[in-house]
Chain A
């Protein structure tokens, strides 16, 4: 026990001997969250549209000005014919073109439906889909306001957990999860390989400590650092981005602790297999960032992926932590709803911890 205490002290000393980089490391994720928290927005505003109005009635002019009034759409111009509007779409100056047929209003008065045509710029398919959806919703509202009511199948919508449909409430916790994973894996990925490179790992063979103790002692200072880090990040999410916090702090604390443990032991594992610090860093970046961003459900819904890739997402810790942190913060869930995710993270952490111990034993 005393031996590991001395050893632990040495590790802490290593950590605080370089206050400049320590400071940088702790501030980096916070700064990134502050910056990228503004970047990731998937809801679309200011859809630019052009109008070709062959109808000229007051009714359809009202429709266009209603559209403009609805904060989603911005009118860029009116065109005499579709040909002119086409040019603007090709140039990317408008996202969509609304074409109102001649005698549209007259047709409505005789009791027949009038079809307006929305020409979309499909080269950005995501945007085009959203625009079509928005316009559809707009028309539904417009019809119920201006047209005589008849029998109609309608439904009301309740948006649970995020009634204002704020994109940042969803993405800020997600960014927190990604930055935490990245920092943890990176921090510990160079620990052991560094000692390997400068040769001090061989000295450890002579020291009366077991590989288990070595790894525990290597992890502890970073776990401490990571918890401080996590608190900072959560504070920024809460106080700056005003993400609601509906669950209990305790359950979030426990989850973060386990998640960090998973990230750190994954980093140590990389450190035991890498032959140099540079390789360890490359591995930690490649294996944490891209999968955490793309395969965790951070932006792209897992459910929409092909089955094979869905299966792949099960081995990514960020997938589970995203469910946990979004659940706790936005839905206010407790341990009852997230215990399965926690168990997986725990298994992940212990698995890599044990493997690293074995690898280190062989090394020593």
Chain B
């Protein structure tokens, strides 16, 4: 116990001496969260919509007003034929063009059959379907307003979104980002600190002292675990106070899950460090595992869209389970009963990684 404390003290001293580490622990999480919280939104706004209005009636102008008041579009009047639209799209002057044909309103009201045409740059298929959806809604509302009694009855939709009624992207993204940030911090920092000792051979010196390998590991992990806790607290505070992400669940559960995850992340860092002989290798390996975690954890890209095989692979990244829990605790206010499975998996990860990394570490150290 005394020996562990000595190591902890030494690590803290080293941490304090290295200003960059402190920067990484406290400033980077906040800055990253502030920037990326704003970036990571799939809400589509400011769509440049070209409009060719050949109808030129009060009604068509009313329709265009509705489109421009919806807040999603920036309207540009264009004079073009359907053929000329391709040029406009290629030059990136507009993202989509709405062509209202001559006599459109009159023909619709007299049931003579006429329809407008929406030409979308579908390069980004996601945006294309969102734009189509927006326009569809505006057309429907417009029709309901003008036609009133004369329209036939139909099935309409109203919707409510639970846990996030305004469907704010940032509520979804901030817990995920917080998870990513402590992954980076915990995995990289401890990896660096071990390999640095390897490079300067101080690890060898430690191995001939009476300190046992597991004591050394525990001593190394405690300061970084504390650092991880501090930075996750900081990140979540920014999320709550700046982005107003609602926190509906229990703090106890939040910190319990974070504890398990920090343990896992630290062990991955130790594992990477035992395999590498230089800082460069640590960097490369941790970068690989990070990219894997970013892409497959469901942080940015929905896992359900991936092919089955990759969905299966996504279970290999502990971050997936941690992010899922964070989102559930924050937004759904979920209790322990909802997350038993995730807690079990995360604990399994923690135990397995701690065991493997400490075994390998001991082997390397005593070899």
Enumerate chain A interface residues (CB-CB to B < 8 A).
Answer: 32, 35-36, 38-46, 63, 89-92, 104, 107-108, 110-130, 132-137, 139-140, 142-143, 147-163, 165-167, 169-170, 190, 276-278, 281-282, 285, 289, 293-295, 299-301, 303-306, 309, 323, 326-327, 330-333, 337
Contact = CB atoms under 8 A, between A and B. Distances in A.
A158 B116 CA distance: 11
B159 A137 contact: no
A147 B121 CA distance: 31
A126 B172 contact: yes
Given A40-B295, A44-B302, A46-B304, A309 B89 contact: no
A112 B304 contact: no
B27 interface: no
A166 B124 CA distance: 8
B274 to A, nearest CB: 18
10 contacts: A39-B306, A41-B301, A108-B154, A115-B157, A129-B42, A150-B150, A155-B117, A162-B122, A281-B280, A282-B283
B155 A304 contact: no
Contacts of B278: 278
B306 A113 contact: no
B69 interface: no
Contact of B92 (A110, A118, A323): A323
B161 A128 contact: yes
A128 B132 contact: no
B165 A122 contact: yes
B147 A38 contact: no
Q: Which 4 A-B pairs have the closest CB atoms?
A: A122-B161, A122-B164, A159-B122, A133-B133
Given A294-B36, A300-B42, A122 B156 contact: no
Contact of A125 (B122, B142, B172, B328): B172
Contacts of A133: 129-130, 133
Contacts of B327: 123-124
B147 A150 contact: yes
B136 A140 contact: yes
Q: Which of A111, A277, A306, A331 has the most CB of B within 10 A?
A: A331
Contacts of B305: 41-45, 167
Contacts of A190: 280
A44 B283 CA distance: 34
A171 B163 CA distance: 30
Interface in B321-340: 327-328, 331-332, 334, 338
Contacts of B153: 107-108, 110-114, 147
B98 interface: yes
A165 B111 contact: no
B35 interface: yes
B167 A170 contact: no
A154 B139 contact: yes
B123 A326 contact: yes
B164 A116 contact: no
A167 B117 contact: no
Contacts of A45: 304-305
B152 A300 contact: no
A113 B124 CA distance: 35
Contacts of A159: 120, 122, 125, 128
Q: Which of A125, A276, A306, A332 has the most CB of B within 10 A?
A: A125
- Name the residue among A114, A159, A169, A323 with the largest chain B CB count within 10 angstroms: A159
Contacts of B40: 294, 300
Contact of A139 (B111, B127, B157, B295): B157
Interface in B124-152: 124-130, 132-133, 135-137, 139-140, 142-143, 146-147, 150-152
A190 B280 CA distance: 10
Given A124-B172, A331-B123, 19 more contacts: A42-B302, A43-B305, A113-B155, A113-B156, A118-B157, A125-B161, A132-B157, A133-B130, A139-B155, A151-B108, A153-B143, A156-B116, A157-B117, A159-B128, A162-B125, A170-B125, A294-B36, A295-B39, A301-B124
A303 B46 contact: yes
Interface in B304-361: 304-307, 310, 327-328, 331-332, 334, 338
B19 interface: no
A116 B155 CA distance: 7
Nearest to A89: B162
B156 A304 contact: no
B85 interface: yes
A170 B123 contact: yes
A91 B340 CA distance: 11
A42 B126 contact: yes
Contacts of B152: 111, 147-150
A50 to B, nearest CB: 13
B164 A128 contact: yes
Contacts of B156: 113-116, 139
Contact of A165 (B86, B122, B140, B169): B122
A43 B151 contact: no
A42 B130 CA distance: 12
A123 B45 contact: no
B157 A155 contact: no
B109 interface: yes
Most buried by A among B43, B89, B122, B158: B122
B115 interface: yes
B255 interface: no
A300 B327 CA distance: 20
Nearest to B111: A151
